[in-house]
Structure 1
């Protein structure tokens, strides 16, 4: 076996990569990761330098892989370690660069150790032994699946971190009204009122797949996406070219809903589908409309999932406002190897307390769900 670091995923045969990547996860596909690189969304000047770890057998066949990036900041990861970096700076310890295994700008749980997990485990051991010599402070693996968690748990030097997201589950609902009927009376009325408020503003919705959007419509999608960042005084992570490249490489995975007031498009939500899941990713609007965000990002996606027979709707990170709309708390996991022994000890102590807090939070959040009681009471 031979291990190599690939600084350009487009140089890797897409068939070989996708053979290892989970078919149900659009974020792991060669097309998605290459679109990030080819569009300049990651690469020089972004703080995301591709450093994918590849394992080949004696015949040159790709047997295992770890999608990875050298990071010079912690933005776009959604597992927040800024506090750790600040503590290092105060102590005179270099926290950057670090090595991250994950999907840029995508807080989505899924496989991270691709192919033969035991081989990837050996790669991880080699990486951790070489971090200090390479001037790297740490190695992080974000939003891991159960298979990776099983391999990582108890591995020497690694620290587990919990997070909490909110996902909606389609329990074989016949339609959106069937879902509403599963809610308590008060919450059912609230959701119905929100939808009526949007409809009362003359707003209608149109669904498109990746191959159905023109370049001018992609321009509109990007303006909406970028505006979401700019109103917060931030630059968007993705470039305009990314969306065209993704539509070219994997149009079958793309779903975009466009909100129109009359003939004028005013908002959009960009999503991906894979396996039995619907992934809400980006949203944006050109003007403020009452309750339009909830309708475009949540209710439209829920209706689409029901109509398409999709079982799960992952609407992204954070957002307690999702709870009252039926999105249930889900624990996420990440793993962290920190070279500096003092930092590792301090973070381990912090994580022990944080994990207890996250577990309590998820349990308390479940008690706030809007569903009717098991006995059918409202």
Structure 2
């Protein structure tokens, strides 16, 4: 009944057909965002990400798609499997290339099996099971493993029933509890955390730092140049190289700016820092940040406090700050689970990874529980 085909260019599928499956809930899964990564050559030949987009057909109709890539290393994924690769290599195996189903360089949860809304729920379950069989078959014949990262909990449960292993991760998200304004949010915190945030924001204000928020057409050419330079500066400090290039930012300006919020900081008229966020339907996603001047608390102001304030005003439910960052806890963020699903072709190695993941899951669950119960920044009822 079903069939599938893979494409090395998303344009071979087309915007209309892709977006009918991706829908509009997550901007990172849109045709435009994924095509921008591809068209800018941030992925493709010469990189470790080779596009291999998956389409599932019912007769001649595309009913589901997936952002699938052949990976030549483990860079830019944010669900770390370097130790798995080393163990596999030491056992005499070849871990790379592998399959990766995710959004490149983007640690944001979202559906990875993108199914058209018009497909009935029962049939959607069939499609998910068919997807699992496809990935297993492709992997068994060509790769060491397949990794579906930052998928939804529901997807991980369904895939777990199809020989995939579930991996739990941890991020820190801010939740809007119907706050009236930033002060209302502050009042929900313990006295110590409230005073700490007030102190940090007061410091920035007394430094006469001007904060400017721009979105959509308000973002000028020079603003994009600043943002790219800040991104490069941070990337080189953190990782030694940047995943995204200037052409990617030019394409964002051309066709994605209506989803972009950039928060700038100016000192004496000079732009000294910026944080770029992407607007979803209910979530604001913090993505790139950089600064040319080391000013205490400026990172927290642009990446967290301004984002929270914007989310409250615009009635957004969540602010997601990306990977890592326990320092976010004292600024109103709580630990949240992330999910990924992994298929390992070699059964002995699969069993070893399964044991590892069971132990890791226990540690992360305990960590999340401890953070959210014992180290919560919020007042306890």
Q: Report the TM-score, using the length of structure 1 for normalisation.
A: 0.95
Residue 118 of structure 1, aligned match among 118, 126, 148? 126
Residue 154 of structure 1, aligned match among 141, 157, 161? 161
Contact 1:64 1:117 in 2 (8 A): no
Alignment partners' CA distance in 1, 2:350 and 2:271: 50
Alignment partners' CA distance in 2, 1:127 and 1:184: 48
Contact 1:65 1:120 in 2 (8 A): no
The DSSP-based 3-state class of the residue aligned with 1:352 is helix
Residue 346 of structure 1, aligned match among 346, 349, 352? 352
C-alpha deviation, 1:356, in angstroms? 0.4
Query: Corresponding residue for 2:106?
Result: 106
Residue 131 of structure 1, aligned match among 131, 139, 145? 139
C-alpha deviation, 1:373, in angstroms? 1.6
Alignment partners' CA distance in 1, 2:63 and 2:157: 20
Kindly tell me: are residues 117 and 259 of structure 1, through their superposed partners in 2, closer, same or farther at Cα, counting changes over 3 Å? Answer: farther
Alignment partners' CA distance in 1, 2:154 and 2:354: 23
The DSSP-based 3-state class of the residue aligned with 1:127 is helix
The DSSP-based 3-state class of the residue aligned with 1:231 is helix
The DSSP-based 3-state class of the residue aligned with 1:143 is strand
C-alpha deviation, 1:229, in angstroms? 1.4
C-alpha deviation, 1:117, in angstroms? 4.8
Contact 1:305 1:312 in 2 (8 A): yes
Contact 2:102 2:149 in 1 (8 A): yes
Kindly tell me: are residues 7 and 233 of structure 1, through their superposed partners in 2, closer, same or farther at Cα, counting changes over 3 Å? Answer: closer
C-alpha deviation, 1:274, in angstroms? 1.0
Alignment partners' CA distance in 1, 2:149 and 2:219: 32
Query: Corresponding residue for 2:120?
Result: none
Determine if the alignment matches structure 1 residue 370 to structure 2 residue 374. no
Query: Corresponding residue for 1:257?
Result: 263
Alignment partners' CA distance in 2, 1:91 and 1:298: 44
Query: Corresponding residue for 1:28?
Result: 29
C-alpha deviation, 1:19, in angstroms? 1.0
Alignment partners' CA distance in 2, 1:113 and 1:328: 27
Q: Where do residues 196-211 of structure 1 align in structure 2 (5 Å cutoff)? A: 196-211=202-217
Contact 2:26 2:280 in 1 (8 A): yes
Alignment partners' CA distance in 2, 1:211 and 1:68: 32
Count of aligned pairs between the two proteins: 371
Contact 2:128 2:158 in 1 (8 A): no
The DSSP-based 3-state class of the residue aligned with 2:337 is strand
The ranges of structure 1 where at least 4 consecutive aligned residues each deviate by more than 4 angstroms after the TM superposition are none
Alignment partners' CA distance in 1, 2:93 and 2:317: 46
C-alpha deviation, 1:263, in angstroms? 1.0
Contact 1:137 1:338 in 2 (8 A): yes
Q: Deviations over 1:316-353 (max 9, x none)?
A: 11110011111011111101000112211111111110
Alignment partners' CA distance in 1, 2:137 and 2:282: 38
Query: Corresponding residue for 1:144?
Result: 151
Q: Deviations over 1:76-128 (max 9, x none)?
A: 11100000001112122100000011111111111111114522431320231
C-alpha deviation, 1:365, in angstroms? 0.8
Query: Corresponding residue for 2:50?
Result: 49
C-alpha deviation, 1:180, in angstroms? 0.6
Alignment partners' CA distance in 1, 2:357 and 2:299: 34
Alignment partners' CA distance in 2, 1:240 and 1:201: 32
Contact 1:22 1:111 in 2 (8 A): no
Alignment partners' CA distance in 2, 1:336 and 1:299: 36
Kindly tell me: are residues 182 and 287 of structure 1, through their superposed partners in 2, closer, same or farther at Cα, counting changes over 3 Å? Answer: same
Q: Which of 357-366 and 8-17 deviates more?
A: 8-17
| Residue segments in structure 2 that go unaligned for 5+ positions in a row | 116-123
Alignment partners' CA distance in 2, 1:117 and 1:42: 31
Q: Deviations over 1:151-172 (max 9, x none)?
A: 21322x2111000111000111
C-alpha deviation, 1:287, in angstroms? 1.3
Alignment partners' CA distance in 2, 1:151 and 1:321: 33
Contact 1:111 1:147 in 2 (8 A): no
| Residue segments in structure 1 that go unaligned for 5+ positions in a row | none
